[in-house]
Amino acid sequence: MRQVLRRWVADADTRQSLREYSLQSEVAGLDYQDGRSFDLYVSLVGELFDLMREPPADSRDWATLGNALSGVARTLTGSAELDATFFSAAAFYGGGYSASAYVTMQQVATQDAWSDDAYRACYDFLARPSRMASERVQTLLRALASGDVASIEAAAAGAQRAVESSLEVGPDQWIAERTYASLLDRFRVTNLRAVLPDGGSSRWDPLVGSLLNRRRPVWDFFPSQISAIQAGLLSSDEPFSLQMPTGAGKTALTETLLFNHLVERPDDLAVLLVPYRALARELRGSLARRLTRIGIATRTVYGGTVPSYEEIQGVDELRAIVATPEALTGLLGSAPELVARISLIVCDEGHLLDQPGRGVALELLLARLLGREGGPPRTVFVSAIVPNIEEINAWLGGSADTVVRSDFRPAEAEYAVLRPAGSGRSTRVGLQMQAVDTTIPAHTLNDFLQDSDFRFRNETTGNLNTFQFGSVKTQAIAVARKSMALGTVAVFSATKTGDQGVAGLADELLRQLRSNVPLPRPLDSVTDRARLDSVGDYLTREYGPNWVGTASLTAGVVVHHGDIPQETREAVEELLSDGVVRMVLCTGTLAEGVNLPIRTLVLYAVQRRSRTGRPIPMLARDIRNLVGRAGRAGSSTKGLVICANPNQWSAVRPVAIGQPGEDVHGALRSLVQALQNSIQTGTRLTTELLEGAAALFPLTDGIDSTLIELLHDELGDEEFRQAAAALARNTFAAQQLDQRGQTLLSTVFAMRATRLSDLRTRGRMPWIRETGARARLVDSVVTDLVPALDSWDTIESPVDESLLDAVLAWAYRQPDFQADLREAFPAEEQVPPLNLPDRASLRDIVALWINGTSFQDIASQTSRSVDEILRIYGKLVSYSLATLVEQAVAVLQRHLADTDVVIADAVAMLPEYLRFGVSTPAARALMASGLRHRRAAVLLGGHSAMVDIQNVLREPRDIARGVIEVETGWTETLGRFVYDRTRQDLGESSAGPGGPEGSGPDDPDRDDPDPYGPNRSTEAAGFGEEPGQGGKDATAEVSDDPARTGEAEEADGWSDFYFDATELAVIDNVRSLAGDILDSADAARVVRELLELELDDRSIASVLADLGDVVVKSVSAAPTDFPLVESGTVHEYDYGMRLDEVAVTFDAVLSVGLPSTLIPQVGDTLGGFVDYNDGERASIELAARLLCTAQVRVEFEGAEIVEVAISLSDE
């Protein structure tokens, strides 16, 4: 781009910012642009065609041009505005920014804006609408779906010929054809088939079909993904390491990798390791469901170290597992046979190697697999922020050729710093842009914040006052309020509570709003007030109206941090992801893998303070991971990061300019080095030290959990020590430590091996294996906890005071729990000599929690603030104490069983009562079955119907469903938000027949089905995903595509369908086939699976082989004049049932391709009408009835189609 144009673009960007932020100030030297928007537009279009002819060295020039055209479009009107938007999208696509091209072209309401075929082709290509008008693009997508690479090349060549012939028509035609040819020129080398190895092969059809049928269709790869694939990621068996920025397509690339690997190895198992439960939950509803949909049975495992019954069932049939490291370690302990099947490990967010505790577990898990008998699996290490990724790749067995680095970001990033000047009323705060990740010069918006922004009228005195705005906090909230004009804003603080934390930010926001400071009000940006009020009512009931999170949401702002329970975080995250609210105040929890459409990120504080007040700066790599959340691909074309504190810009700037940041060496090495330093000052290395120093527990527990998996009965003590030594040598730490450090590491491994051998000799090893308990805790449970109660078999209630006292007295002896107690409770409550809070204080909180008391009532009854209770809950109740109790009760149960004592159910279930916050077996069962809201479980679980003898054989879930459907008043009791979600969780739609008014299938306000669901492609382009391949595991995720009768999304991965009367009758039919053993929810899932069956040309080609190419254009459920499910045989087995030969009939519209000469003959015979005929080839649309014969397995509240055959019905 010419320098003069670059300067013009920068100045126009400055003017655009002035408009967007509604700033009254003028910037000197910009008046030359007055009245010249069209001139700039013409210059930019000329630059676009220059770049088409000769692409730039720096691909960011394309993004700069795209954003410049998008900006100038807002200053134009009529066809000029439309055309500028069109050229903006073309510029983005030309540089590989296909997601930005899509977002830009989505601003155009319809392809009818252009009448010319070439313009319409460009629109369809860039906007990817649900129904395409361009035959060119339909043909292109059919070729992409079927793997016809030659046709794609031919289309690109034909587009070039059309450019030449268009010169004879006129300039407008040439511009359109030249643009389309440019798009196809890039597409032919970046489309899915062109990049995938042997891309035309039919083995890719299921994956390609899945990518094409998404809400935001994926037709091509990003440059970052292309680099990895071209380097051999999919074609090599070597270990690989990938460094890609956040949002650069890691998830889709991982999905492609898993599919490719498992298609070639149908008997193997692949594992995707993720660091956070939040990320695992998100992947459960996306990647895992999509893999399952296309025949790769996938399960997510992210509970504790002991897998649940549901998680361990059917693991032999799984082909892919998504898990946290600790959950996978537990799963492999319960099913060791899986280890030999693992042939691929993908380690996502690999920089978590440095995280204490979790990083040790990850490193030792990888080390164990590296030393696996028979050879290690292939490992792919992925991270956005590891500078020394070559070192890690070498440790995993890779070479210099298998490291792929990419700095491509799908959305351009901008940085800015707030620069205050003056004092008092003369204070002015400028927004200084930084030229660090863009190709245009920076500019400064002077007077971005000034006295007039904070002037308000005192309602009491009537005087005009000025809100003090000299603090960084006030300025951070103010700049966030102004930035809502651009899109969703996140204000970040490194701490949760206190004046400098998220709570302090919320207080500042509310102070400004109460003073009526004349800045944009977040509530004015809310897009769905009814939905906001519904969630606000839920927060009020649970946390009270005065809690800062409730008050903030009432004002249109979300508060999000780690102490807030998961059910609440998910509720407010949905408000953000759906664009209901535009501001969130958060800590780093919002960056833990959950993708949200954040346009602007305001960094209020990138350092936190210790309990002594000492500032602790964030690591550069953590800042890099955080700022990568600004500007999400597919939701905006660029992101803005604003550093509110100019004194902390020095910590952010290295990230902004791309400096590498801190190396990752692993928490294991750090612990060994710290231990080595301590030994040098006189500390003796003993078993007591390893099992008594809380700081060393990550080291001790990590080594133990890994060694336990190696300790088999046939392995002698000496052989075990040798295996432990080999494991130590395989660690990343061993590759980095000096000789003394390596010796110490080996010594620690040897000491733990000896300790575990001793436990085996004493018969304790089976306890550890069966319970998943820490080895260091087993003796303590036997010697300290068991004697604490005389009768463990007579406890009747989980809140029995003697039970809680005994458990807490034991927990208070544990060093790591002591450390957590000191962190969770205020310092003034910590009593010498151990400086621990009074045990009765925690007991009262725990008892109230288990009894189902709301957080606001717990706070009231214990004379604490809600934030204090949340801190105690988040640090102790939900994690530290829950983990200890889970292990203690398991060991206790195992120990007493040897003496023929069966502990009381109230004790056996105490871990789950504590985890869920309920006190009745029915409420516990409801929560375990997937009910998201504790309040609903408590009230429904305590209903008299749960103990009615007439319901003795019914599951609590069925009883609760009947109660909430039949009895009135539950909406008022639970609140609309919890009521609706509970109806969904129980397997019945609150929007179906008999549901609340105004939300049934005919409700005009109900959302339409996903425009990019299965109908999208079958109707518009004639392709679809693979039909019924491979079925799903009973607890695996299900399809994310809606049924043709509509759906509402559920948090657990199921979709809540709106069945019509015919389909409801079918559900009853399926139940009758099953002898009513199958409850209505599971019957609905069977029908849902059958309705979701999709067909394509390959699945039916054998039936219609003589007619040539066949495309299924649409499939619908059967009409009311004949049954959907015609027959079926039910077989029961241990964990569910199987329905054999379920015959299902569908109506379909087929598009049959054939030679033009056969049109008269076929038309006379079969009817239909011709929808295409070029004289050589033609297609005719025929109505057909298809018969599907399926075998369905139902278990664990899931349905799986294990076999399917499709043919033409006799009708």
Mean pLDDT calculated for residue range 237-257: 92
Strands, E, within 702-842: which ranges?
A: 830-831, 836-837
Residues 1120, 962: Cα–Cα separation, whole Å: 28
Mean pLDDT calculated for residue range 877-906: 92
With cut-offs at 50, 70 and 90, classify the pLDDT of residue 231. Answer: very high
Determine the pLDDT at residue 1056: 38
Higher pLDDT, 576 or 1091: 576
Residues 1158, 1180: Cα–Cα separation, whole Å: 10
Return the minimum-mean-pLDDT range out of 213-217, 765-769, 911-915, 1094-1098. 1094-1098
Higher pLDDT, 25 or 693: 693
Instruction: Please say if the pLDDT value at position 1205 is more than 70.
Output: no
Instruction: Please say if the pLDDT value at position 200 is more than 60.
Output: yes
Identity (one letter) of the amino acid at 1061?
A
With cut-offs at 50, 70 and 90, classify the pLDDT of residue 326. Answer: confident
Determine the pLDDT at residue 422: 83
Determine the pLDDT at residue 129: 86
Task: Using the Cα atoms of residue 673, residue 674, residue 678 and residue 684 in order, give the sign of their dihedral.
Answer: negative
Q: Are 436 and 656 in contact (CB under 8 A)?
A: yes
* Phi and psi based region of residue 954 (left: phi greater than 0; alpha: psi -120 to 50; beta: remaining): beta
Higher pLDDT, 167 or 536: 536
Determine the pLDDT at residue 1068: 57
Query: In angstroms, how far is the first alpha carbon of the chain from the final one?
Result: 65
- pLDDT > 90 in the chain, percent: 54
Residues 1028, 264: Cα–Cα separation, whole Å: 19
Nearest partner of 246 among 504, 502, 615, 629, judged by Cα: 629
Q: Are 92 and 63 in contact (CB under 8 A)?
A: yes
Instruction: Please say if the pLDDT value at position 1149 is more than 60.
Output: yes
Mean pLDDT calculated for residue range 598-602: 94
Higher pLDDT, 302 or 298: 298
Domain ranges of the chain: 3-202, 205-213+223-405, 471-644, 667-761, 781-916, 921-985, 1015-1032+1078-1208
Q: Are 491 and 583 in contact (CB under 8 A)?
A: yes
Determine the pLDDT at residue 625: 84
Determine the pLDDT at residue 1158: 75
Predicted confidence (pLDDT) per residue in 432-476, tens digit: 988 765 555 677 888 899 998 999 988 888 888 989 999 999 999
Nearest partner of 852 among 778, 798, 815, judged by Cα: 798
Predicted confidence (pLDDT) per residue in 26-48, tens digit: 777 788 888 888 999 999 999 99
Determine the pLDDT at residue 1069: 55
Instruction: Please say if the pLDDT value at position 392 is more than 90.
Output: yes
Predicted confidence (pLDDT) per residue in 274-289, tens digit: 988 878 888 887 899 8
Mean pLDDT calculated for residue range 606-613: 74
Q: Burial level of 396, CB count in 10 A (0-12/13-18/19+)?
A: buried
Mean pLDDT calculated for residue range 234-246: 93
- According to DSSP, the β-strands at 607-609 and 615-617 are antiparallel
Return the minimum-mean-pLDDT range out of 41-50, 51-60, 195-204, 1050-1059. 1050-1059
Higher pLDDT, 1012 or 881: 881
Q: What is the 3-state secondary structure (H, E, C) of 14-37?
A: HHHHHHHCCCCCCCCCCHHHCCCH
Determine the pLDDT at residue 1083: 52
Q: Which two tokens stand for residue 497?
A: 């509570």
With cut-offs at 50, 70 and 90, classify the pLDDT of residue 1070. Answer: low
Determine the pLDDT at residue 1118: 42
> Which stretch of DSSP H or E encloses residue 974?
helix 970-974
Residues 6 or more apart whose CB falls under 8 angstroms from that of 14 comprise 27, 30, 443, 445
Determine the pLDDT at residue 1206: 54
Predicted confidence (pLDDT) per residue in 106-165, tens digit: 888 766 777 788 999 999 999 998 778 889 999 999 999 999 999 999 999 999 999 999
Residues 298, 288: Cα–Cα separation, whole Å: 6
Instruction: Please say if the pLDDT value at position 1128 is more than 80.
Output: no
Residues 664, 658: Cα–Cα separation, whole Å: 17
Q: Which CATH architecture has domain 205-213+223-405?
A: 3-Layer(aba) Sandwich (3.40)
Q: Which two tokens stand for residue 579?
A: 């664009």
The pLDDT mean for the chain works out to 83
Instruction: Please say if the pLDDT value at position 1003 is more than 60.
Output: no
Determine the pLDDT at residue 1087: 53
Instruction: Please say if the pLDDT value at position 611 is more than 80.
Output: no
- The separation between CA 633 and the C-alpha centre of its own chain, rounded to angstroms, equals 14
Instruction: Please say if the pLDDT value at position 594 is more than 80.
Output: no
Higher pLDDT, 1052 or 398: 398
Q: Which residues make beta-bridge pairs with 1177?
A: 1155
Mean pLDDT calculated for residue range 858-866: 97
- Tell me whether domains 205-213+223-405 and 471-644 share a fold: yes
Highest mean pLDDT among 10-24, 101-115, 196-210: 196-210
Mean pLDDT calculated for residue range 158-177: 92
Highest mean pLDDT among 65-69, 849-853, 1047-1051, 1065-1069: 849-853
Residues 6 or more apart whose CB falls under 8 angstroms from that of 859 comprise 544, 865, 866, 868, 869
Q: Which residues make beta-bridge pairs with 574?
A: none
One of 3.40.50.300, 3.20.20.60, 3.90.230.10, 3.40.640.10 is the CATH number of 471-644, namely 3.40.50.300
Q: Are 538 and 474 in contact (CB under 8 A)?
A: no
Residues 6 or more apart whose CB falls under 8 angstroms from that of 950 comprise none
Q: Burial level of 570, CB count in 10 A (0-12/13-18/19+)?
A: middle
Instruction: Please say if the pLDDT value at position 737 is more than 50.
Output: yes
Residues 6 or more apart whose CB falls under 8 angstroms from that of 270 comprise 258, 261, 262, 319, 320, 321, 342, 343, 344, 345, 346
Q: Which two tokens stand for residue 287?
A: 């990647």
Residues 6 or more apart whose CB falls under 8 angstroms from that of 545 comprise 551, 554
Predicted confidence (pLDDT) per residue in 669-690, tens digit: 999 999 999 999 999 999 999 9
Three-class SS state of 549 = helix
Q: Which residues make beta-bridge pairs with 421?
A: 428
- pLDDT > 70 in the chain, percent: 81
Q: Burial level of 1109, CB count in 10 A (0-12/13-18/19+)?
A: middle
Return the minimum-mean-pLDDT range out of 104-118, 144-158, 290-304, 1013-1027. 1013-1027
CA distances from 878 to 117, 808, 845, 886, 1174 (A): 60, 14, 12, 11, 68
Higher pLDDT, 197 or 621: 197
Higher pLDDT, 269 or 1101: 269
Determine the pLDDT at residue 1026: 30
Q: Which two tokens stand for residue 358?
A: 């979790």
Q: Cβ of 351: how many Cβ atoms within 10 Å?
A: 27
Q: Which two tokens stand for residue 1199?
A: 């349905």
> Which stretch of DSSP H or E encloses residue 96?
none
Residues 1119, 1140: Cα–Cα separation, whole Å: 23
Predicted confidence (pLDDT) per residue in 804-851, tens digit: 999 999 999 999 999 999 999 998 998 888 899 999 999 999 999 999
With cut-offs at 50, 70 and 90, classify the pLDDT of residue 1049. Answer: very low
Determine the pLDDT at residue 528: 95
Task: Using the Cα atoms of residue 1080, residue 1086, residue 1090 and residue 1091 in order, give the sign of their dihedral.
Answer: positive
Mean pLDDT calculated for residue range 574-583: 93
Q: Are 20 and 71 in contact (CB under 8 A)?
A: no
Q: Are 786 and 895 in contact (CB under 8 A)?
A: yes
Instruction: Please say if the pLDDT value at position 991 is more than 70.
Output: no
Radius of gyration of the chain (CA): 31
With cut-offs at 50, 70 and 90, classify the pLDDT of residue 1166. Answer: low
